[in-house]
Amino acid sequence: MKMISLDAKDKKILLELDRNSRQPISSIAKKVGLSKEVTNYRMKKLVEKGIIQGFHAVIDISKIGYTIYRLFIKFRDVCPEKEEELTKYFQNQPSVGWIAAYEGFYDLAVLIWAKDIYEFKEIYYDILNKYGSYFQDHYISIVMEIHHFKHNHIFDSKDYTDSVIGGKKEEANLDSLDIEILKLLAENSRRTTLEIGGRVNASPNTVKYRIKKLLDTGVIVAFRTMLDTSALGYQHYKVFVKLSEIDKNLKSSLKEYLRMNPNTIYITEAIGLVDLEFEIQVKGSLELHNMIRALRTHFKGKIRDANPGLVFKEYRINYLPFPSQLKPGKASSK
């Protein structure tokens, strides 16, 4: 892929979208120091160049009573055409919110949203019945928490705050209007209140009120931008960490250490084969090697294993892939 260089203004625009992809053009333009027209033009060019690949709301699915189950797959005797068929199959499944292609121990990671283990079992068995013969190996893990970080390494930013989905949280009461609004924001967080209102048959003020309430109650935790950082010269790695001992304080220290690394974009806690996972974006394998080596040195004798895998393509990110399956709770007050 041809490398794309950004000037200072484009970087500032991307920085603002990375912080909050829903903020209006006028707000971004003021912070960047450009007119609304020029800012809008530059954003469109960034989309055309493929650097911006979408805008989405990060929705805490645990607040809606769902859990994320992950299926890591290693293919067996799969030709490119069959691999494309498998990928399209997962893209068309209403319960699948995230699909990523790997180079390493596994070829594909599929994140499945399910209400409970029994619902997941039905989805899982259906996958095995259709395509299990093409799996050389696979394993399942259950996501407890995912910490989302901003792209500090691209923008020389020091905003180490994170947005967290998962954990033990009280379920929110949502009605059908909340769900429809969430669906539209999950697909495109830059949709205006006017556009959303027209789609859900509600006034812009009602939509604005509902979005604020979804933010206040923690159902929506962030508005983010999907960036193709490979066009900027970065490689995306997921690192699977096994600790020498299961210690809550050690895990907290490790998470804090990773938080302060500007290259970290995700930290995941899951029940599965490893104790902690994190994702970083680096300029190459040497930088990756140096970071893992520094991690082992800092936590000398505490890291039993740290295995990286290259994430070379994300096919889908949608934090509410199944709105029609959700059952509304009590109606909101407006």
Residue 310 maps to a domain? no
Residue 28 maps to a domain? yes
Confidence band of 330 (pLDDT split at 50, 70, 90) = very low
Residue 296 maps to a domain? no
Span 124-139, average pLDDT? 95
pLDDT digits (tens, 9 = 90+) for 141-177: 999 999 999 999 999 999 999 999 998 888 899 999 9
Q: Which two tokens stand for residue 91?
A: 């893209």
Q: What is the pTM of this model?
A: 0.92
pLDDT digits (tens, 9 = 90+) for 17-66: 999 999 999 999 999 999 999 999 999 999 999 999 999 999 999 999 99
Write down the mean pLDDT value for the chain: 93
Between CA 138 and CA 108 the distance in angstroms is 9
pLDDT digits (tens, 9 = 90+) for 230-266: 999 999 999 999 999 888 899 999 999 999 999 999 9
Residue 194 maps to a domain? no
Confidence band of 68 (pLDDT split at 50, 70, 90) = very high
Residue 2 maps to a domain? yes
Please tell me what DSSP assigns to residue 12. H
Domain coverage including residue 6: 1-49
Number of domains in the chain: 1
Residue 128 maps to a domain? no
Q: What percent of the chain has pLDDT over 90?
A: 87
Please determine, for residue 137, whether its predicted confidence score (pLDDT) is greater than 90: yes
Between CA 101 and CA 98 the distance in angstroms is 10
Q: Which CATH number does the domain housing residue 18 bear?
A: 1.10.10.10
Residue 331 maps to a domain? no
pLDDT digits (tens, 9 = 90+) for 269-310: 999 889 999 999 999 999 999 999 999 999 999 999 999 999
- Partners of 98 in the beta sheet? 111, 317
CB count within 10 Å of CB 68 equals 24
* pLDDT (0 to 100) of residue 328: 52
Please determine, for residue 331, whether its predicted confidence score (pLDDT) is greater than 50: no
* pLDDT (0 to 100) of residue 122: 95
Residue 54 maps to a domain? no
Please determine, for residue 322, whether its predicted confidence score (pLDDT) is greater than 80: no
Please tell me what DSSP assigns to residue 157. -
Burial (CB count <10 Å: 0-12, 13-18, 19+), residue 112: buried
